């Protein structure tokens, strides 16, 4: 495929182009071309009605950026297509594309972050700061914790009671919570906490009585 340098003044946008790029992405595209100097060649065809001109099929935003950078020429690939083929290309070239594998994308961004400053990357990548930081955080190995420093995990207790016993327990829990309102004004104590208080009170009373 031959790449030709064509004067920007000879390139005309196709009137049926429907692809629009957000301003923030256009700025990033400009920074990339301005800094790296590389860009995907524009796809054009000989203009159907204007002699010695070309009609853009793909690359409207790249042309706009090149004009902003006061470039005189654009790298282009010339396709010999008719009107019907041109319309079909307009509908597909800017729409068809693959999808990034999240793991490989994260790996790529990590490699870039090792070679470029984060702020410099954010000016050129489509990701925003929060997205980039989240992806890079996923690439970090998990922190190793000392088991001795871990808090004790909650334990599960399961037992069966009759309906009458359940009512007795529920009434006791409500009564105890009411009694502890001064010590627990925000009612942060859960049912397990209340059961533990009841059990501890019984054990202490039983120890005294014995």
Residues 79-116 have pLDDT tens digits of 999 999 998 888 887 666 556 678 778 888 888 888 88
CA distances from 171 to 63, 167, 176, 183 (A): 77, 6, 9, 19
**Structural domain boundaries of the chain?**
4-92, 102-139, 159-209
List, in sequence order, every residue forming a beta bridge with 55; answer none if it has no partner: 12, 45
Give the whole-angstrom CA distance, residue 192 versus residue 7: 78
With a cut of 90, say whether residue 52 has pLDDT above it: yes
Expressed in percent and rounded to 5, the helix, strand and coil fractions of the chain are 50, 10, 40
With a cut of 70, say whether residue 209 has pLDDT above it: no
Q: What is the pLDDT of residue 150?
A: 65
CA distances from 115 to 100, 110, 130, 159 (A): 21, 9, 19, 59
Task: Please give the average per-residue pLDDT across 175-182, as a whole number.
Answer: 83
Decide: helix, strand or coil at residue 110.
Answer: helix
pLDDT confidence band for 152 (50 / 70 / 90): confident
What is the dihedral angle through the alpha carbons of 16, 4, 93, 11, rounded to the nearest 10 degrees? Answer: -20
CB half-sphere exposure, 131, CA atoms < 13 A: 10
Give the whole-angstrom CA distance, residue 210 versus residue 207: 5
Q: What is the pLDDT of residue 76?
A: 97
- Does the domain formed by 4-92 have CATH 3.90.1530.10? yes
pTM of the model: 0.57
pLDDT confidence band for 63 (50 / 70 / 90): very high
């Amino acid at each position: 495929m031959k790449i030709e340098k064509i004067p920007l003044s000879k390139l005309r946008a196709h009137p049926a182009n429907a692809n629009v790029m957000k301003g923030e992405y256009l700025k990033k595209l400009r920074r990339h071309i301005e800094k790296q100097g590389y860009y995907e060649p524009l796809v054009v065809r000989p203009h159907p009605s204007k002699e010695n001109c070309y009609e853009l099929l793909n690359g409207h935003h790249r042309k706009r950026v090149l004009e902003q950078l006061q470039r005189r020429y654009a790298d282009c690939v010339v396709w010999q297509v008719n009107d019907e083929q041109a319309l079909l290309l307009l509908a597909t070239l800017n729409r068809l594309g693959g999808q990034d594998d999240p793991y490989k994308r994260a790996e790529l961004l990590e490699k870039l972050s090792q070679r470029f400053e984060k702020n410099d990357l954010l000016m050129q990548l489509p990701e925003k700061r929060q997205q980039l930081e989240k992806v890079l955080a996923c690439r970090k190995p998990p922190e190793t914790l000392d088991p001795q420093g871990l808090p004790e995990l909650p334990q599960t207790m399961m037992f069966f009671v009759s309906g009458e016993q359940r009512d007795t327990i529920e009434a006791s829990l409500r009564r105890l919570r009411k009694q502890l309102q001064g010590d627990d004004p925000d009612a942060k104590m859960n049912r397990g906490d209340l059961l533990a208080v009841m059990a501890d009170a019984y054990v202490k009373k039983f120890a005294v009585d014995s």
